[in-house]
Chain A
Amino acid sequence: MELLISVIKIVVVMGVMLGIVAYVVLLERRLSAAIQNRIGPNRVGWQGLLQPIADVVKLVFKEDIVPLKSNRFIHDLAPIISLAVALTTFAVVPFGDKINLFGYDIKLQIADVNIGILFILALTSLGVYGLTLSGWSSNSKYALLGGVRSSAQMISYELSMGLAVLGVVMIAGSLQLDTIVEAQAGWKWNIILQPIGFITFVTAAFAETNRLPFDLPEAEPELVAGYHTEYSGMKFAAYYLSEYANMFVSSAIITTLYLGGWQVPFVHSFGFSDFWIGIIQVFGFLTKVILFVSFFIIIRWTIPRFRYDQLMNLGWKFMLPVSILNLLITGLVILLLS
Chain B
Amino acid sequence: MNLVDIIFYFFALITLVSAAITVYSRNIIYSAFSLLFTFFGVAGIYVLLNADFIAVAQILIYVGGILMLLVFGVMLTHKVINVEIKTGILNVVPGSIITAIIGGTLCGVFVVTDWFIVEGVPPIKSTTTEIGTMFMTKYLLPFEIASVVLLVALIGAAYIARRDKSKNQSA
Contact B59 A126 (CB under 8 A): yes
CB within 8 A of B63: which of A125, A136, A139, A158? A125
CB within 8 A of A126: which of B52, B63, B126? B63
A12 on the B face (CB < 8 A):
no
- Give the residues from 65 to 87 in chain B that come closer than 8 angstroms, CB to CB, to chain A: 65, 68-69, 71-72, 75-76, 79-80
19 contacts between A and B (CB under 8 A): A71-B29, A74-B33, A113-B52, A114-B52, A115-B56, A118-B56, A122-B56, A122-B59, A125-B60, A126-B64, A128-B64, A133-B33, A144-B75, A148-B75, A151-B68, A151-B71, A151-B72, A174-B126, A175-B128
Contact B68 A128 (CB under 8 A): yes
Apart from A71-B29, A74-B29, A126-B64, what are 9 other A-B pairs with CB-CB below 8 Å?
Answer: A74-B33, A114-B125, A114-B128, A121-B56, A122-B59, A126-B59, A128-B68, A132-B75, A158-B64
Which residues does chain A contribute within 8 Å of B63, judged by CB atoms?
A: 122, 125-126
Report Cα–Cα, A76/B126, bound state, in Å.
39
Closest CB of chain B to A200's CB: distance in Å?
19
B105 on the A face (CB < 8 A):
no
Closest CB of chain A to B69's CB: distance in Å?
8
Given A115-B53, A144-B75, verify A132-B68 contact (CB < 8 Å). yes
Interface residues of B, dominant DSSP: helix
Contact A147 B56 (CB under 8 A): no
Which residues does chain B contribute within 8 Å of A23, judged by CB atoms?
A: none
Which residues does chain A contribute within 8 Å of B29, judged by CB atoms?
A: 71, 74, 136
User: Quick one: closest B residue to A127, CB to CB?
Assistant: B64
Report Cα–Cα, A144/B79, bound state, in Å.
11
Report Cα–Cα, A126/B80, bound state, in Å.
24
- Give the residues from 111 to 144 in chain A that come closer than 8 angstroms, CB to CB, to chain B: 113-115, 118-119, 121-122, 125-126, 128-129, 132-133, 135-136, 139, 144
